[in-house]
Amino acid sequence: MSDQSSHNPKTASEIASHVEEPSQAELHTHRRNAFAGLGWARDNLFSNIPNTILTVLSVALLVWAAPPLLDWMLLKATFLNEDPAACREAGGACWSFVTVKHRFILFGLYPYDEHWRPLLAMALFIAALAISCDSRFWNMRIVYVWGLVLPVCGILMWGGWLGLTFVPNDKWGGLPLTLILATLGIVLAFPLAVLLALGRRSDMPAIRAICVGYIETVRGVPLVSVLFMASIMFPLFLPEGLTIDKLLRAQLGIMLFTAAYLAEAVRGGLQALPKGQYEAADALGLGYWQKTRLIILPQALRLVIPPIVNQFISCFKDTSLVIIIGLYDLLTTAKTALADPSWRAFYVESYVFAAFIYFLFCYFMSRYSQYLERRLNAGLRR
Amino acid sequence: MSQPAPKTPWWNDRANRAILYQVAVVGLVVLAGWYLISNTLANLAARNIATGFGFLVREAGFAIGESPIAFDPADSYAKAILVGLLNTIVVAVLGVILSTLIGTIVGVARLSGNWLVSRLATVYVETMRNIPVLLQLLFWYALITEGLPEPGDAFKPIEGVFLSNRGLKFPTPDWSGLEWLVLAALALGVILAFLLSRWARLRQAATGQTFPSIRIGLALTLALPLLCWLLIGAPTAFDRPQLDGFDFSGGHSVSPEFVALLTGLTLYTASFIAEIVRSGILAVAPGQTEAALALGLKRGQVLRLVVMPQALRVIIPPLTSQYLNLTKNSSLAVAIGYPDLVSVSNTTINQTGQAIEGVAILMAVYLIVSLAISAFMNWYDKKTALVGR
Amino acid sequence: MKRLSLWAILAAVTSVGLAAPAFAGTTFDAVKARGSLNCGVHTGLAGFGAPDDKGEWAGLDVDVCRAVASAMFGDAKKVKYVPLTTQQRFTALQSGEIDMLSRNTTVTSQRDTELGMNFGPFNFYDGQGFLISKKLAKVKSAKDLKGATICVLPGTTTELNLTDYFRANKMNFKPVVIEKQDELAAAFFAGRCDAITSDSSQLASIRSAQAPKPEDYILLPELISKEPFAPAVRHGDDQWFDLVKWSVYAMMEAEEKGVTSANIDSLKGGSDPTIKRLLGETPGLGKALGVNEDWAYQIVKQVGNYGESFDRNVGANSKLKLPRGLNALWNQGGLMYAPPVR
C-alpha cells in the first residue's frame, strides 16, 4: 500500500489518515506531538482521569495476555522437528505440523508431484488480481489481462496439454479452490446481479415481483442451506442421465447466493445516480437497453466497486462453508490434515495457519476497498 | 411516451410491449420451475424414494442435548425441529443484544482520543472481521473445552456458581413456586417506565417542561419487583448446583457449545457493528455538536438528544443486515454441536433420508425468521426517520 | 448484449460441468462407457477412506472401489473418488452422482428399502461401544453411565442406538453431538464428555491415535449394537450389483485360498481348480459377469486379498492396529464367509 501511494501525495495522506486516526484534525495534533515522547503520552494516554484509567486497563490486558501467547507461539514452539512426540514434550505450538502438512493444506488432493502447477496458477491469479486493483487498468486492458491469465490458469490446473498430465477438477483443493470458488462466484454472479437489480427497479410489476422475490428469498436464508440444496437437490432437478460436477454445483450455489447480495449493491449504485442522468437519456430518445448500457451502467458500476470488493471479501470467507458439502477448500484441507492419527492433537496450529491465510487476503482486500471508497468519495466531493 | 402515430404497430407500443415482456419472463420462470419440479418427481419415482411430510409425526428416536422446552426421544420429528428453532432463536436474540453492546463500545473506542484504546479497538476489529466465522467458532469451542477444568475441579468465582468444561452452572431462585410474581412485577415495571417516558416526551413537546423520566423509570423497574419479593415473605432459598455423579445437578446450566457459539457470533458480528457505529457517529456533522453545546446542552444530552438520533438513521439499515447475518450465521452451530435448527434438521434428514423435505423446512423457517427481523427493523427505522421534509 | 453474454457464459460453464449420461440405460453400461468408476467414500476417516499426505485415497472402503475398478477395467486406478458427508451419501447414490457407495455405511432395513439401496457383502463387522477415562473408577459397565454426558456423532445409527440403549435401561444422559469425528474425540479427551460412543474399531483408533495417554482410557465391556458395513448400489441394476458383490467376495475367497498379490503370479498354471477359476484360467465366470476373464486376478494382483487389505488399512500393518476379531475368515473364528466363486 505504501509503495503505491508514495507517488501520489493526496492518496498517501488519505491512507495515513485512515491508518492513524479517522479524523484529519486529530491527525495533526497527533503528528505535532509524535516526537515529543512524554508530551505525546500525556495528550494521548493520560489527558484526564477516565483516560488514565482506560490506559491502565489496556496495559493490564496486554501484560496479562501477551506473555503466555508469545510463549506458546514462539518461545516454546517446535518448528522443524518432524516428530509429533517432540511437539508434545516442548509444550508450545507445534508449527512442525504446518511444516509437514503445508503442501496438503495448500493444495489438497492435487497430485503431489504437480504442485508447482497450482502454485504458478495462483501466483498468476494473484498478480492479475493486484493489477486489477490499479485504476489505470480499468478499461479494455483489464479484459486482456484476465483473458490471458484465466486460460493459462485453466491449462495449468487441468493440464492434458503441452505435456502436462490431466488433473480432473475433483482433485483440486486447498487455497486454489478457495480462490476459484470466490472469484468465479463473484464474476459469474455479476451479470445475473445486474439483471436482478435492473429488474427490481423496473416499472413492470411482474418482473419487479420476480426479482424482489428472488433477492429477498436468497438473502433470507443461510448459505449453508443453499449449499445443502445445491449438493443434495441439484442432482434431482436434472433429467435422468445428466449429472453436474460437485465443484460446479457448489460454484452454482455460491453464485446464486452471491448474485442476490450483489444485486442489492448494484441497485444502490443505480439509485445513487442523479435522476437527471435518466431524464437526459430519455430526452435523447434512447431506448431502455441503450440508455442502460451507454449511460446508466457505466456510471452506476463505478460507484459500486467498493461494495463489490466487500462482497468479494465475504464471498472469500464464506467459501469456507463448502466444508459441509465435502469440497476440499482451505478450511477442509486444514481439517483433513488432522485426520492423520499422529498429528490429530494439533488442531489449534492447523486452524491458526488457515486463519492466517484467510486474514492476509481479507485484510489487504478490505484495506483496498476502504482506500477506493475514500478515493471515490473524494472524487465526488470535488 | 407512446405516440399516437397511426403507423406504430401494436408491438411497438410501450404499454403493450411491457405486457409482452412480462408475459415472456413469467412464462420462462414458470417453465423453468415446472421443468425442475417434473424432473425431481420423475427422479424420485424412478428410484422409489418416499416423499411427503409424513415423517414429521414419526418418533424421532434421538436425544437433544439442550432445549428450552422438554424433549424426549419418543417425541416426534416435528417437535425436534421446533426445539432446534427455539435454540436458534435463543442464540440469535442473545447474540443480537450482546453484539450491539460490544459493537457500540468498540465503535466508540475506535474514535477515542486515547491512543492505546483506539489502537486496541482497531486491532480487534481488523482481526475479527477478516477471519471466517466458522474458523472462529471452532477455535472458541476448542478453547473452552480444553482450557476449563473438569466438573470435580470447577472454578467457583462466586459461591454457588461453577465454571467447568461442562459449562456454566449457577443457582436459580427457589421460592416455593412464586418466582413468577417477581418476574411479573419486573415486567410491569418495565412497561410502566416505558409509558412514563412517552408521557414525559409528549409533555415536553407540548409544554417544554422536562421530567426526569429515566431516573424515575429505573426506580419503578427496581422497586416493583423488590416490593413484590418482600410481599411474598422475602424468601432467600436457592436451587444450587451440586456435584452429583458425573455432573452438576440443580440450578441452571449453560453448555460450552452455547457459550462458544454465542461468543464466536457475538465477537464476529460486533466487529462489523463497531464499524457501522463509528461511521454513523462520524456521519453526524461536527457543527451539530457545536451548535448543541452552544445552546447550553450538557455533553450527555448532546450525545443522547442530538448526535445519537441522527447517527441512528445512518446506523440502522446496515445494522439490520448485521442482525440478519448473525441469525443466519448461527446455522454454523452444526460444526460445534449446538443443537440449532440446522443441526437438528441435518440429523432428521440423515435419519429419515427425506432430504428435500428437510431442506425445504429449513429454508422456509429461516425465511420467516429473517422476514420477521426485517419487518421489525423497518418499523424501527421508520420510527426514527426524519419526519416531514 | 448483457443477456447474450450471460447466456454464453452459462452455456459454456454448463457444458464443461455436465457429465456424460450417468445411467442412461444401466449403471453397468454407463460405467463401462465412461471408462471410470464414480465411488462415494468418506471425507476422511483413517483406515476406511482418507487421502494421504500426497492426496492418494487409501482405506478398507477405498479398496472396495479399487477392486471393482480392477474387475471392470483391469486397472485399480480408474476410480473417481467422491468424498461425501453423512448427509450427502444416500442422495448422491440416489441421484446417480456416484455408481456405488463404499463409506462405512451400516446396513439397516430402512436404508435397504425406503432409500432404494442394495447392499453388497459385509466388508467389516463392528459393534458400538463406549470409551471412558480410567479416572471414572466406579464405572465398570455401560449400565453405570446413568446421567453421564456422552459424545456421539450425529445423524448416525450410533446416535439412535445410544438413545435406544438408555431408554431401554431407563437411564438419562446428555448427548454432545459434533459432526466431525476429530473434533468429537478432541472434545472427549478434553473432558467435555464422560464417555464417547462409536463403533468399537473407531474407539480403538481414537484411543491409540488421539489420546494424550492411551493407557488412561478403557473400553467398556458392552457392545450395544450390531454395525455391519457394506458397499451399496442403487436398486434396479442387477448386473452392476452382481459385479460389486463378487468383487468383494473374490477378495475373501482369495484370502481363504491363500492367494495374495505377491504369490498370485507364481500360482499361475497350478492344478487347484478353485484357484484356476480365481485366476481366470477356467473361463466362464468373467463372461457371466460381463467383464474380462481375469477380473479376479486383477483384483488380487492390484488390490490384494481381503486379509492384505485389512492388515494394510486397519490391521497389524496400519496405525490403527485393530485385531481381526469378527472380521477374520469363518474358518478362523470370524464372520467373513464368501460363497464359492464358481
Report if residue C25 sits inside a domain: yes
Cβ neighbour number for residue C306 with a 10 Å cutoff: 27
- Which pLDDT band holds residue B100 (cuts at 50, 70, 90)? very high
Percentage of residues in chain C having pLDDT higher than 90: 32
Report if residue A116 sits inside a domain: no
Q: Is the ipTM of this complex over 0.90?
A: no
Q: Which residues pair with B249 in a beta bridge?
A: B242
Question: Is there a single domain that holds both residue C51 and residue C178?
Answer: no
Quick one: residue B131, left, alpha or beta (phi over 0 = left, psi -120 to 50 = alpha)?
beta
Instruction: Tell me the CB-side half-sphere exposure of residue A377, using CA atoms within 13 A.
Output: 9
What value, to the nearest 5°, has the Cα angle with vertex C55 and ends C54 and C56? 95
Domain boundary among A49, A68, A87: A68
Contact: C176, B65; criterion CB under 8 Å: yes
Please state which of the ranges A356-370, B347-361, C32-46 shows the lowest mean pLDDT.
B347-361
In the predicted structure, residue A25 carries a pLDDT above the cut 70: no
Choose from C36, C39, C180, C318 for mutation: most chain A CBs within 10 A. C180
DSSP B251: S
Report if residue A168 sits inside a domain: no
In the prediction, which pLDDT does A379 show? 59
pLDDT digits (tens, 9 = 90+) for C137-147: 788 888 888 88
In the predicted structure, residue C21 carries a pLDDT above the cut 70: no
For residue B91, the Cα-to-chain-centroid distance in whole angstroms is 7
- Cell numbers placing C331: 474358518
Compute the distance between CA of residue B130 and CA of residue B134 in angstroms, rounded to an integer.
Answer: 12
- The three-state DSSP-derived secondary structure of A198-210 is HHHCCCCHHHHHH
Question: Is there a single domain that holds both residue B25 and residue B81?
Answer: no
Please state which of the ranges A62-66, A243-247, C138-142, C217-221 shows the lowest mean pLDDT.
A243-247
Question: Is there a single domain that holds both residue C150 and residue C30?
Answer: no
Q: Which helix (H) or strand (E) holds A369?
A: helix A347-381
Report if residue B268 sits inside a domain: yes
Number of domains in chain A: 2
Q: Domain of B32?
A: 10-46
- Which pLDDT band holds residue B5 (cuts at 50, 70, 90)? low
Q: What is the mean pLDDT of residues A65-73?
A: 80
Compute the distance between CA of residue C131 and CA of residue C135 in angstroms, rounded to an integer.
Answer: 12
Number of domains in chain C: 2
Question: Is there a single domain that holds both residue B372 and residue B285?
Answer: yes
Compute the distance between CA of residue A349 and CA of residue B6 in angstroms, rounded to an integer.
Answer: 78
Cβ neighbour number for residue A116 with a 10 Å cutoff: 10
Q: Which helix (H) or strand (E) holds C219?
A: strand C217-219
B169 touches chain A (CB under 8 A): no
Question: Is there a single domain that holds both residue C44 and residue C190?
Answer: no
Report if residue A135 sits inside a domain: no
pLDDT digits (tens, 9 = 90+) for C61-82: 999 999 999 999 999 999 988 8
Question: Is there a single domain that holds both residue C242 and residue C218?
Answer: no
In the predicted structure, residue A6 carries a pLDDT above the cut 60: no
Residues 6+ apart with CB under 8 A from A1: A15, A364, A367, A368, A371
Q: What is the mean pLDDT of residues A280-298?
A: 81
Contact: B18, A59; criterion CB under 8 Å: no
Number of domains in chain B: 3
Question: Is there a single domain that holds both residue B332 and residue B275?
Answer: yes
Percentage of residues in chain B having pLDDT higher than 90: 13
Question: Is there a single domain that holds both residue A240 and residue A365?
Answer: yes
Compute the distance between CA of residue B126 and CA of residue A363 in angstroms, rounded to an integer.
Answer: 7
DSSP C79: E
In the prediction, which pLDDT does B85 show? 92
Question: Is there a single domain that holds both residue C114 and residue C153?
Answer: no
Higher pLDDT pick, C336 / A272:
C336
In the predicted structure, residue A207 carries a pLDDT above the cut 50: yes
Compute the distance between CA of residue A182 and CA of residue C42 in angstroms, rounded to an integer.
Answer: 25
Q: Domain of A268?
A: 173-381
In the prediction, which pLDDT does A35 show? 52
Choose from A1, A56, A236, A261 for mutation: most chain B CBs within 10 A. A236
What number of C-beta contacts closer than 8 Å exist between A and B? 154
Report if residue C160 sits inside a domain: yes
In the prediction, which pLDDT does C12 show? 44
Compute the distance between CA of residue A170 and CA of residue A173 in angstroms, rounded to an integer.
Answer: 8
In the predicted structure, residue A5 carries a pLDDT above the cut 60: no
Cβ neighbour number for residue C207 with a 10 Å cutoff: 20
φ, ψ at C45 (rounded to 5°): -135, 110
In the prediction, which pLDDT does C260 show? 92
Report if residue A277 sits inside a domain: yes
Measured in angstroms, the CA of B212 and the nearest CA of chain C are apart by: 50
In the prediction, which pLDDT does C37 show? 92
pLDDT digits (tens, 9 = 90+) for A354-382: 899 999 888 888 888 888 877 776 655 44
In the predicted structure, residue A139 carries a pLDDT above the cut 80: no
In the prediction, which pLDDT does B176 show? 66
Report if residue C166 sits inside a domain: yes
Is the separation of the CB atoms in B310 and B318 below 8 Å?
no
Question: Is there a single domain that holds both residue C111 and residue C177?
Answer: no
Question: Is there a single domain that holds both residue B310 and residue B224?
Answer: no
| Farthest CA pair distance, chain C | 76
Report if residue A107 sits inside a domain: no
In the prediction, which pLDDT does C130 show? 92
End-to-end CA distance of chain A: 24
**What 3-state class would DSSP assign to A130?**
helix
Question: Is there a single domain that holds both residue B348 and residue B270?
Answer: yes
In the prediction, which pLDDT does A93 show? 76
In the prediction, which pLDDT does B389 show? 39
Report if residue B59 sits inside a domain: no
Q: Which helix (H) or strand (E) holds C50?
A: strand C50-51
In the prediction, which pLDDT does B211 show? 75
Average pLDDT, chain C: 84
In the prediction, which pLDDT does B39 show? 82
Range from B9-18, B66-75, C47-56 that averages highest in pLDDT? B66-75
Residue B325: CATH number of its domain:
1.10.3720.10
Q: What is the mean pLDDT of residues C156-185?
A: 85
- Which pLDDT band holds residue A272 (cuts at 50, 70, 90)? confident
Position B379: which residue type?
W
pLDDT digits (tens, 9 = 90+) for B259-269: 999 999 999 99
Contacts of B139 in chain A (CB under 8 A): 348, 351, 355
In the predicted structure, residue C218 carries a pLDDT above the cut 80: yes
Question: Is there a single domain that holds both residue C242 and residue C213?
Answer: no
Report if residue B14 sits inside a domain: yes
Residue C95: CATH number of its domain:
3.40.190.10
Measured in angstroms, the CA of A35 and the nearest CA of chain B are apart by: 15
Average pLDDT, chain B: 82
Question: Is there a single domain that holds both residue B136 and residue B273?
Answer: yes
φ, ψ at C231 (rounded to 5°): -75, 150
In the prediction, which pLDDT does C256 show? 92
Chain B contact residues (CB < 8 Å to C):
43, 47-50, 61-65, 73-74, 138, 141-142, 145-146, 149-150, 165-166, 244-247, 249, 256-257, 334-337, 339, 343, 346-347, 349-351, 353, 355
What value, to the nearest 5°, has the Cα angle with vertex C262 and ends C257 and C268? 65
Q: Domain of C140?
A: 129-225
Choose from B115, B322, B326 for mutation: most chain A CBs within 10 A. B115
Question: Is there a single domain that holds both residue B162 and residue B82?
Answer: yes
Q: How many residues does chain B have?
A: 389
Question: Is there a single domain that holds both residue C107 and residue C167?
Answer: no
In the predicted structure, residue C248 carries a pLDDT above the cut 90: yes
Q: What is the DSSP string of A135-192?
A: GGGTTHHHHHHHHHHHHHHHHHHH--STTPPP--GGG--HHHHHHHHHHHHHHHHHHH
Please state which of the ranges A98-107, B119-128, B357-366 shows the lowest mean pLDDT.
A98-107
Question: Is there a single domain that holds both residue B262 and residue B328?
Answer: yes
Residue in chain A lying closest to B132 (CA):
A317
Report if residue A127 sits inside a domain: no
Q: What is the mean pLDDT of residues B235-241?
A: 73
Report if residue C260 sits inside a domain: no
Residues 6+ apart with CB under 8 A from C16: A248
In the predicted structure, residue B280 carries a pLDDT above the cut 70: yes
Report if residue B54 sits inside a domain: no
Position B103: which residue type?
G
Question: Is there a single domain that holds both residue B325 and residue B258?
Answer: yes
pLDDT digits (tens, 9 = 90+) for C313-324: 988 888 777 888
In the predicted structure, residue C178 carries a pLDDT above the cut 50: yes
Contact: C147, B138; criterion CB under 8 Å: no
Report if residue C6 sits inside a domain: no
B158 touches chain A (CB under 8 A): no
Question: Is there a single domain that holds both residue C136 and residue C186?
Answer: yes
Question: Is there a single domain that holds both residue C148 and residue C181?
Answer: yes
In the prediction, which pLDDT does C11 show? 45
In the prediction, which pLDDT does A340 show? 67
Domain boundary among C225, C256, C283: C225
- Which pLDDT band holds residue A18 (cuts at 50, 70, 90)? very low
In the prediction, which pLDDT does A140 show? 73
Question: Is there a single domain that holds both residue C106 and residue C183?
Answer: no
Q: What is the mean pLDDT of residues C299-328?
A: 89
Question: Is there a single domain that holds both residue B26 and residue B128?
Answer: no
Residue A202: CATH number of its domain:
1.10.3720.10
CA distances to A36, A61, B123 from A40, in Å:
6, 22, 21
In the prediction, which pLDDT does B261 show? 93
Position B181: which residue type?
L
Q: Which member of B120, B126, B359 has the closest CB to residue A225?
A: B359
Measured in angstroms, the CA of C196 and the nearest CA of chain A are apart by: 17
Contacts of B18 in chain A (CB under 8 A): 203-204
Question: Is there a single domain that holds both residue B311 and residue B201?
Answer: no
Compute the distance between CA of residue C202 and CA of residue C84 in angstroms, rounded to an integer.
Answer: 18
Report if residue C107 sits inside a domain: yes
Q: What is the mean pLDDT of residues A147-156?
A: 84
Measured in angstroms, the CA of A343 and the nearest CA of chain C are apart by: 8
Report if residue B312 sits inside a domain: yes
Higher pLDDT pick, A82 / B324:
B324
Compute the distance between CA of residue C233 and CA of residue C245 in angstroms, rounded to an integer.
Answer: 10
In the prediction, which pLDDT does A382 show? 43
Average pLDDT, chain A: 77
Is the separation of the CB atoms in B171 and B161 below 8 Å?
yes
Q: What is the mean pLDDT of residues B374-386?
A: 77
Question: Is there a single domain that holds both residue B145 and residue B88?
Answer: yes
Report if residue A151 sits inside a domain: no
Domain boundary among B209, B236, B263: B236
In the predicted structure, residue B37 carries a pLDDT above the cut 70: yes
